[in-house]
Structure 1
Amino acid sequence: MQGDHLALDLAVTIRHDGHGGVADDLAEPAGLTGWVRAHARELAPDLAAAGFTADPAALAAAVEVRTAIRALFARAVLPGEPSAADAGRLPSARLALDRLNAASARVPVAPRLDWPEGAPPAAAHTVPGAPPAADRLAAALARHAIAFLAGPERELLRACPAPRCVRYFVKEHSRQEWCKPSCGNRARVARHTARKRAERA
């Protein structure tokens, strides 16, 4: 089952850095530029075209939406533990909902009917006017998050329990416990080491 995972992809731009810390792929506008270009298909074509370059306003908007998403992901995985990167660092779920909905409302979207000659009619959406790129980006990201959180895959969302991992993932099969095989290996090594210490004690 593969749904709208753009919100998940945005959430995991906070990740384990491989050295016991946390890395932020969106620490600078250049990181957001690369991320938006890599997700061109999922984002609005005018926004995600190869020429998109993030500025500080777009970065701030994207990070605010990401923070709201991670707060709502922490709520979604309850009663399980949230990501270790999120514990005590996120706004309340109520504030996160308000921020996400406000971001979605930054840019109105109007339904549009396209009906090319010799082809069936098709519904599309258009953005009236020329809102700033930061608003278009925030609205697009928020709408993807709303689709994910209101959809069936929210029930399959998990925080990876592997040592030092801070990622969320969608559980794709009943035996999946970690976001990636490397996290599973790290968890097994940690359990083995803990058992050996307990035996020596």
Structure 2
Amino acid sequence: MDDVPATDAAQAALPPAPGADRYRSLDFADTAATLPAGQSYDLLAAPESAMRWLAAHELTAPDVRLYEVCARRMRTLRAHVRALFAARVDGTTPPEESLRAVNEALTAVPTAPLLAWDGAQGPRRIHAHPTDRAVDHALATLAADAADLLTGPDAGILAACGSPPCDRFLLRTHGRRHWCSTRCGDRARAARAYARRSGTPS
């Protein structure tokens, strides 16, 4: 499979799948995708593109610099989130290591706002985001979002794109439709029409 170069990945990427506006973890899972003709893209392939994705989703400040180790941690958590989503869609038991990885991300940072106190403002609650722990906070937020999706009312409409070879996830919006984009829906309809004309299975 040929990967799209990191500099071109954003241009090659499909638009956000249905539900990505409600769950950042869904968009996170879909930052890598398989496309027709053996192509693929990965929006977290390089530290610069991973940093842009985090900033665009308000998970870090735009000036936070990421290193390869940080981008690798993001890709690792993404693989585990995808494994949990796939297990939920397929009705199977997820890998224990994926549950462990998401739980470790959830507990790596304080989830409750901390108590701060200064002379000008007195006591207040703050979310601490030291620069050296920015990725920890981002991953914890994404892990919590994934857990909310998997255990909440939308878990039953989590689906995998039904247009091979696409392997993105989405929330079904109407009836049985489960395509992540217009492009995938058009491809699926064209494949069915061709199968009807040629008498071959779609």
| TM-score, normalisation: structure 2 | 0.74
Say if 2:185 is the partner of 1:184. Answer: yes
Q: Which amino acid aligns with 1:62?
A: M
Q: Match for residue 88 of structure 1?
A: none
Gaps of 5+ in 1: 81-90, 115-122
Q: Match for residue 61 of structure 2?
A: 49
Tell whether the 8 Å contact from 1:109 to 1:125 is kept in structure 2 after alignment: no
Gaps of 5+ in 2: 1-17, 117-123
- How many pairs does the alignment contain? 175
Structure-2 separation of matches of 1:24 and 1:128: 26
Q: Which amino acid aligns with 1:9?
A: D
Secondary structure in 2 matching 1:166: coil
Q: Match for residue 139 of structure 2?
A: 138
Structure-2 separation of matches of 1:152 and 1:197: 41
Cα deviation code 1:109-155 (max 9, x no counterpart): 333579xxxxxxxx965238775333223222212212222211111
Q: Match for residue 83 of structure 2?
A: 71
- Select which of 5, 10, 13 maps to 2:28: 10
Q: Match for residue 36 of structure 1?
A: 54
Structure-1 separation of matches of 2:182 and 2:62: 32
Structure-1 separation of matches of 2:175 and 2:39: 29
Q: Match for residue 109 of structure 1?
A: 111
CA RMSD for the aligned pairs? 2.9
Percent of pairs identical after alignment? 33
Say if 2:10 is the partner of 1:26. Answer: no
Structure-1 separation of matches of 2:110 and 2:85: 25
| TM-score, normalisation: structure 1 | 0.75
Tell whether the 8 Å contact from 1:21 to 1:164 is kept in structure 2 after alignment: no
